[in-house]
Amino acid sequence: MAKYDKVMLVRATNCGVGWSVRVREWDVRLEQWGQLVILATPGMAGLSDAMAQAILSAHVPVGEIQITEEQIVRVALRGSLLAEPEEKLVSPTMPQLFLAAARYEDREGNARAIIPIPWTVLKPLSPDKSQPFLGIECQVISGLRNPLSARRRGRVRIYAYAAQPTPETPTRLRLRSRQEGQKPLVGYEVYLQAAGDGPTVFLGRTDVAGEITVPGTDPWYLISIKHGQRLLARVPLVPGQDSPAEVALPDDEARLTAETYLSGIQDELVDLVTARTIMVARMRARMIAQDWQAAQRIRDQLLRLKPREIFSSELTRQQQRIFCPDPVGQKQIDLMFSEMQRLIQVYLNPAEVEQLVKLLASRQKPAT
């Protein structure tokens, strides 16, 4: 069978009221089955045409990938340059989307392993009809970094094959932690973008099992996964291909804890700066009016506000309590705390209050 590219399994069954034709493709190079195609014909006269049409429908275009740029590849479909007869059955349309797989071969060209490249699709761009031998130019859309070039070491061939979405078939998306234990990630936000274009729609949050159902109403989706304000992943998903589809993500609980804490600190800082600004303005007004007792009362209120040093030390202690096992998450935590420390140093600078207190003291000195 190794000398063939495709093997078509065809079965015709007399149903009493006509014939049922079932066809399924076996791709020899990728060692995988295509979807089952079922057609019906009322009589024996149309059986051969029904078989031919079912074979065309079951055919999954496959081509080798040629990398041209970082995010652009060309797919050289097998058999694309063969001459076509003048009269033919309706050919399948150009695939809207390709998936990718890496075929690892030995010295004789036999497959050692065939591994689908996860979370990666190839979206065809405008075809060059004048130069079909160049292949189909496709944009690489992936949740991985360098999904194709990273697998080029050794005897490896990267193939593209047409995606076969299952209409109206939902897919369970499962989120798991990368860390040991792979605990389910609960409450993570999932957004959908149909075919990678148009508006992004909020789908919902993952349940207690870290799962959420993705509808099968579109051929494919670009899925964004967020936790708090952080975008954790953006991956393509073809409904019906694999269910559940599992995504391993960094455990983001520590970063979200820091984000929530710092959000509260920021609100407290805004309130404190607002109160201090109002008190300083009122104190200046009382001093201009030479209402020294009122100015002293406002001064005392100003001095009772939380000082910059206490704010900063509380922030440092909280930062030391939060640890994230994910290095990227820990770096983000440190950056958030550093930015908050900077804001505290800028907006709680005591110089203005100290100068105003000294000015009040000098104005109150008895004349000699």
DSSP secondary structure letters along 264-322: HHHHHHHHHHHHHHHHHHHHHHHHHTT-HHHHHHHHHHHHHSPPHHHHHHHHHHHHHH-
Are residues 245 and 257 located together in one domain of the fold?
no
Q: Which amino acid is present at 215?
A: P
Are residues 73 and 157 located together in one domain of the fold?
yes
Signed CA dihedral, 352, 355, 361, 364: sign only: negative
Cβ contact 51:23 at 8 Å: yes
Cβ contact 155:113 at 8 Å: no
Are residues 236 and 282 located together in one domain of the fold?
no
DSSP string covering 217-268: SSS-EEEEEEETTEEEEEEEE-TTSSSSEEEEE---HHHHHHHHHHHHHHHH
Within a domain: 30? yes
Are residues 10 and 78 located together in one domain of the fold?
no
Are residues 95 and 145 located together in one domain of the fold?
yes
Within a domain: 224? yes
Look at residue 129 and tell me whether its pLDDT is greater than 50. no
Are residues 175 and 225 located together in one domain of the fold?
yes
Residue where one domain finishes, among candidates 249, 283, 303: 249
Residue where one domain finishes, among candidates 164, 197, 220: 164
Domain that residue 326 falls in: 253-363
The residue-averaged pLDDT of 87-107 equals 76
Look at residue 86 and tell me whether its pLDDT is greater than 60. no
Within a domain: 358? yes
Are residues 276 and 350 located together in one domain of the fold?
yes
333-351 confidence digits (pLDDT tens): 999 999 999 999 999 999 9
How many Å from the N-terminal Cα to the C-terminal Cα in the chain?
Answer: 114
Residue where one domain finishes, among candidates 123, 146, 164: 164
> Which residues lie below 8 Å from residue 250, measured CB to CB, with a gap of 6+?
177, 178, 179, 232, 325, 326, 328, 329
Within a domain: 194? yes
311 vs 308: CA distance, rounded Å: 5
Token pair in block for residue 94:
């150009």
Within a domain: 368? no
Are residues 273 and 211 located together in one domain of the fold?
no
Q: At 118, is the secondary structure helix, strand, or coil?
A: coil
Look at residue 367 and tell me whether its pLDDT is greater than 50. no
Lowest-confidence pick of 128-142, 154-168, 231-245, 323-337: 128-142
291-314 confidence digits (pLDDT tens): 999 999 999 999 999 999 999 999
DSSP 134: G
Within a domain: 127? yes
Q: At 205, is the secondary structure helix, strand, or coil?
A: strand
Within a domain: 313? yes
Are residues 77 and 144 located together in one domain of the fold?
yes
Q: At 349, is the secondary structure helix, strand, or coil?
A: coil
Token pair in block for residue 238:
């073809």
Q: With bands split at pLDDT 50, 70 and 90, how would you rate the model's confidence at 80?
A: low
Cβ contact 178:250 at 8 Å: yes
> In total, how many domains does the chain have?
4
- Largest interatomic CA distance in the chain: 125
DSSP string covering 61-111: -EEEEEE-SSSEEEEEETTTTS---SS-PPPPPPPS-EEEEEEEE-TTS-E
Look at residue 163 and tell me whether its pLDDT is greater than 70. yes
CATH number at residue 176: 2.60.40.1120
Whether a cis peptide bond, with omega within 30° of 0, leads into 244 is: yes
> Which residues lie below 8 Å from residue 181, measured CB to CB, with a gap of 6+?
none
List the helix and strand counts (H, then E) for the chain.
6, 18
- Token pair 């979370």: residue: 119
* pLDDT higher at 132 or 234: 234
Are residues 229 and 242 located together in one domain of the fold?
yes
208 vs 184: CA distance, rounded Å: 7
Look at residue 90 and tell me whether its pLDDT is greater than 50. no
Are residues 66 and 155 located together in one domain of the fold?
yes
Q: What is the pLDDT of residue 152?
A: 64
Are residues 135 and 146 located together in one domain of the fold?
yes
